Amino acid sequence: MAQRTGAPVRAGVVGAPEMSAVTAFAGMRRVVEVMFKAACPDCRAGFELGAGALRLAIGASSRTTFYSFTCPECGSAVRKPAGERIVELLTGGGVRTLRLHSTV
């Protein structure tokens, strides 16, 4: 029979004390949002966008893989091709991703 110590125990981990979210994140000050540099082909403005302002669509080929955003300067809908490196950077930075499926 296991001996009880009086400290709360997490389910499945014998002897490990429970940890609150406050304790777990005590040393963390804030989370910094990843910013991506982008440019508008219509108005030629350059700017930075957070992950929430971008969308990534991953298709079956390089022709159907792209990212898109709305230009904060002129309001144009922008769609640009995304190669492997761009896909890696955007997904790693938290950009929402849509996987396009073939109907064949």
CB 28 within 8 A of CB 37: no
pTM: 0.66
Tens of pLDDT, residue by residue over 84-99, are 999 999 999 999 999 9
Looking at residue 79, the DSSP 8-state letter turns out to be E
Tens of pLDDT, residue by residue over 46-60, are 999 999 999 999 998
